[in-house]
Amino acid sequence: MRADSGNRGGAKWAGAPRKAHAGQPIPKPGRNEPCWCGSTKKYKTCHAAFDDKLTILAANGHVVPSRNLIKTPEQVEKIKESAKINIAVLDEIQAKICEGMKLSEIDKIVYEMTTDMGGIPAPLNYEGYPYSVCTSVNDQVCHGFPLEERFLREGDIVNVDCSTILNGYFSDSSRMFCIGDVGPEKKRLVEVTKECVEKGLAEVKPWGFLGDMGQAVHDHAFANGYTVVREIGGHGVGLQFHEEPWVGYNSVRGTQMVMAPGMIFTIEPMVNMGKVEIYVDDENDWEVYTEDGMPSAQWEIMVLVTENGHEVLCW
């Protein structure tokens, strides 16, 4: 296993090189000048208090988001349009997915529906990824290829991970599907993983820390006897597919990046029924599996931090 940024989909790996964003001096407009956010309001009545808060947090050693991670209301609207396609595509998969389906059929539906709605599937050709969607079955952790020769069988659990580009704006979410009767153990894994995302989401509010979210996810998985993959995480999203910050779930309350209004990121823990270790397929350098062959589940939502809490943009 090469659990480092040398694997494909590098930005999602914990070891990937990333830009500095902690403790940087924040350039500020004059108080009567227009705000940097494009609102046309004076800086002093717009983001001045916001910047002051971040400056103090940074001075106290916290990791704060750089300004390019704070989406303007106009950007949020465009990202929501992209997210509508992502939701519609996953709804369509949810209506059609069944025993006997080839994974390549899912890829075809995703490609056709996304492009019919004016979008582009973000995975296609991303760092050389050869399909429009990731389909990860049973012991596949993520980045599974939707192959022609792979059929869904009764008892399979499968994650379908869709991402859309619309007019240059990105959205990203994934859902789990149970094919027929999957048995109580796999069913519980799928349900608990969804609960992990919900527990994490409940922690998303301005001026909290990503570690509050991460610990909530991890604690729930751990309490149910599961492990949470360490090497691959969520990410900022919206203007690019994978932006800062990297979002882990083995983190601790009160640590990691401060959540500020206007940030958008994914919550997408990979929860293993068995051991935490994973490996990457040697031949394609993409597909990720559990080392012990036990099942893994993942749900992914895309969340905006708002003034009062959060808004889920796609799921």
Contact positions vs Co ion (CB under 5 A): 172, 266
Which residue number is nearest to ligand MF3 in terms of Cβ? 123
Q: Which of 189, 156, 179 is nearest to 269 (CA)?
A: 189
Q: What is the number of other CB atoms lying within 10 angstroms of the CB of residue 26?
A: 15
Which CB sits closer to ligand MF3, 156 or 300? 300
Residue 233: name its binding partner from Co ion, ligand MF3, none (Cβ under 5 to 8 Å by kind): none
Compute the least distance from the CB of residue 266 to Co ion, in Å. 4
**Would you count residue 126 as binding ligand MF3 (CB under 6 A)?**
yes
Residue 143: name its binding partner from ligand MF3, Co ion, none (Cβ under 5 to 8 Å by kind): ligand MF3
Residue 139: name its binding partner from ligand MF3, Co ion, none (Cβ under 5 to 8 Å by kind): none
Residue 59 has φ and ψ, to the nearest 5°, of -65, -25
Compute the least distance from the CB of residue 9 to ligand MF3, in Å. 4
Q: Which of 251, 269, 256 is nearest to 18 (CA)?
A: 256
Q: Which of 41, 51, 102 is nearest to 260 (CA)?
A: 51
Which CB sits closer to ligand MF3, 127 or 281? 127
Residue 126: name its binding partner from ligand MF3, Co ion, none (Cβ under 5 to 8 Å by kind): ligand MF3
Compute the least distance from the CB of residue 131 to ligand MF3, in Å. 8
163, 171, 290, 296: residue in contact with ligand MF3 (rule CB under 6 A): 163
Q: Which of 144, 143, 301, 152 is nearest to 235 (CA)?
A: 301
For residue 122, how far is the Cα from the chain centroid?
13
Residue 175: name its binding partner from ligand MF3, Co ion, none (Cβ under 5 to 8 Å by kind): none
Compute the least distance from the CB of residue 261 to ligand MF3, in Å. 23
9, 200, 248, 269: residue in contact with ligand MF3 (rule CB under 6 A): 9
Site size with ligand MF3, rule: CB under 6 A = 13
**Would you count residue 313 as binding ligand MF3 (CB under 6 A)?**
no
Cis omega (within 30 of 0) on the bond before 245? Answer: yes
260, 300, 304, 314: residue in contact with ligand MF3 (rule CB under 6 A): 300
Q: What is the number of other CB atoms lying within 10 angstroms of the CB of residue 60?
A: 9
Compute the least distance from the CB of residue 267 to Co ion, in Å. 9
Residue 243: name its binding partner from Co ion, ligand MF3, none (Cβ under 5 to 8 Å by kind): none
Residue 54: name its binding partner from Co ion, ligand MF3, none (Cβ under 5 to 8 Å by kind): none
Lay out the site mask for ligand MF3 across 187-216 (x = CB under 6 A, - = otherwise).
Answer: ------------------------------
Which CB sits closer to ligand MF3, 54 or 134? 134
| Residues forming the site for ligand MF3 (CB under 6 A) | 9, 12, 123, 126-127, 129, 134, 143, 161, 163, 172, 268, 300
